Structure 1
């Protein structure tokens, strides 16, 4: 009877992911020549055959585990991740794949015979390793793991932030405030910096317009958007910028509430642009200008990458970057 990757991993004392990458001649993997030799020798002795990695037959129903870093409650507070999940579930249904949903803190619910994992959100190196040991067919959504050898689906934050800054600049608003988020992975091992903050800072510094006093950090919730904008109003007073970029819609909705309570007119005194274009953007007053992210496409692309990897036997990791568009509504001046 032919051996499996798990058999080889157990015999050598390394992870399943390490065995998979060594047998596929991944020279970017940091592993000793002795370990590589051991893996190949054990594979030969145990009669391992790559025939085990042939494309899965068309009539086999793929089983995909969807691992979320957000809890059910937190997902309802920020519809961005829910939209991604619904997109991938819709694509899976179209392809007649089976999806099972779980959370990062409960990986025990993932079946041993799962064909692939789609991980939505932010994960620490330790969490990534734990997922990789379950299957080599792994895709990350909203976190770039290409450098670590895994398929990734991400948003083009660089162009998105540039569009926001360019728009404000064209309106004559060169002093731009920022409300951004910061958070930690669920195991509290890695801080996750907001890529929109990093790009905003880089771009504004290059233009000689970055002002640290106009930058405020929250935690992506509506409450933090309200609190940080209230803080900005109190500390900056008459020097409050005429334009604010807020890096997600729930925070932007909270910021709008703070401005309204302070009798600061939007958009005449302060223009505001959010990010993601979730449904909340159209149900606040005034309606929120925001960067539209095609969250459904993020989800469907992840499923497509899984299908391609399994059906073709592809082992080279891919990164797919999804573009954005700026949607202008009532919260910004439009000339």
Structure 2
């Protein structure tokens, strides 16, 4: 039986667009040609909504979605874009109406006139932000951030992933391992501790190899990845391998290495984090940790629905697995130096 996903693929649009066309969503801005194409494909594939789907269409559930990144930030680092797409697709499959939330000053607002049944927020938030969410709806889920034990959340298993990366580099003979990462903030000046950095420092300390001068941090941008790698290359006793905390930063770091004619991975190995689509196509293809971002978004929708339908009083924290993808930007050392 045909699904919304099948129709969306053939029509060349998102699942959310197909769902909104079939549900006669007047707020949807789409070309008449696109709408007609979707309806034609629906008839061609003999799509029939189930009784449950029809009931959902009659009693639409409204879920607020707060965008942590701006459009420009999503374009530069598509990590949260992928999470958002997972949320949008899961809601479309369930006939849920997603309502955009915007932050103004210390509060959140929306142009939507109805009531919100729940809220999903992907990104990093303060306790004040959570209070604002609770004023809009008692049901909400955080994605990619565990603020407290009293809030439902979906997060990747970063610590386990970091141990896997460092075990891989260590077993390959690397002892001088550098860290290039970034800092994020809630509101304007509250820094958030990064689990990748803390796991790196802890692992290297246990091994007796931690060096504070091998840690460089800035923003999670390609520009900062470039500048931080240039700083690192100025060290007389530079690392033989780097963990870079995001693929976007790693792309900038690779440019700095290429400009200095440093060979990757022959001279320096690079392992990154996120596994954005571009990671496998740059030169050399990035070894990186795959985070199942779309799955995280889908899981957040499932968790919100379960929260709303149950009477539980304890919060749930769902930890999703990560996978180390070994590509051409990393390799073993030919020898292990005495130091």
CA contact (8 A) 1:145 1:151 kept: no
Which whole-Å deviations, capped at 9, do the CAs of 1:118-176 have from their partners, x for residues lacking one? 011001121121112211101000110342x1100011111000001000011000211
CA contact (8 A) 1:69 1:104 kept: no
Confirm or deny that 1:213 pairs with 2:209: no
Tell me the SS of whatever aligns to 1:258: helix
| TM alignment of 1:118-197, pairs within 5 A | 118-147=120-149, 149-185=150-186, 187-197=187-197
Unaligned runs of 5+ in 1: 1-56
Distance in 2, matches of 1:118 and 1:184, equals 19
Which whole-Å deviations, capped at 9, do the CAs of 1:69-107 have from their partners, x for residues lacking one? 211211111100000000011111111111122333472
Tell me the SS of whatever aligns to 2:138: coil
Unaligned runs of 5+ in 2: 1-54, 334-339
Corresponding residue number in structure 1 for 2:9:
none
Which whole-Å deviations, capped at 9, do the CAs of 1:257-296 have from their partners, x for residues lacking one? 0001001000000000010000121232111000000001
Report the Cα offset of residue 334 of structure 1: 5.6
Corresponding residue number in structure 1 for 2:108:
107
Corresponding residue number in structure 1 for 2:313:
315
Tell me the SS of whatever aligns to 1:315: coil
Tell me the SS of whatever aligns to 2:164: helix
Report the Cα offset of residue 193 of structure 1: 2.1
Distance in 2, matches of 1:205 and 1:134, equals 45
| TM alignment of 1:218-257, pairs within 5 A | 218-234=218-234, 236-237=235-236, 239-257=237-255
| TM alignment of 1:250-289, pairs within 5 A | 250-289=248-287
Corresponding residue number in structure 1 for 2:46:
none
Corresponding residue number in structure 2 for 1:68:
67
Which whole-Å deviations, capped at 9, do the CAs of 1:282-333 have from their partners, x for residues lacking one? 2321110000000011100100011111122333211000110100111011
Distance in 2, matches of 1:87 and 1:282, equals 21
Tell me the SS of whatever aligns to 2:109: helix
Distance in 2, matches of 1:88 and 1:183, equals 22
CA contact (8 A) 1:83 1:295 kept: yes
Q: Tell me the number of residue pairs that the alignment of Structure 1 and Structure 2 aligns.
A: 275
Report the Cα offset of residue 253 of structure 1: 0.6
Question: Residues 253 and 98 (structure 1 numbering): CA distance in 2 closer, same or farther, change over 3 Å?
Answer: same
Question: Residues 330 and 214 (structure 1 numbering): CA distance in 2 closer, same or farther, change over 3 Å?
Answer: same
Corresponding residue number in structure 2 for 1:290:
288
Distance in 2, matches of 1:189 and 1:131, equals 21
Tell me the SS of whatever aligns to 1:107: strand
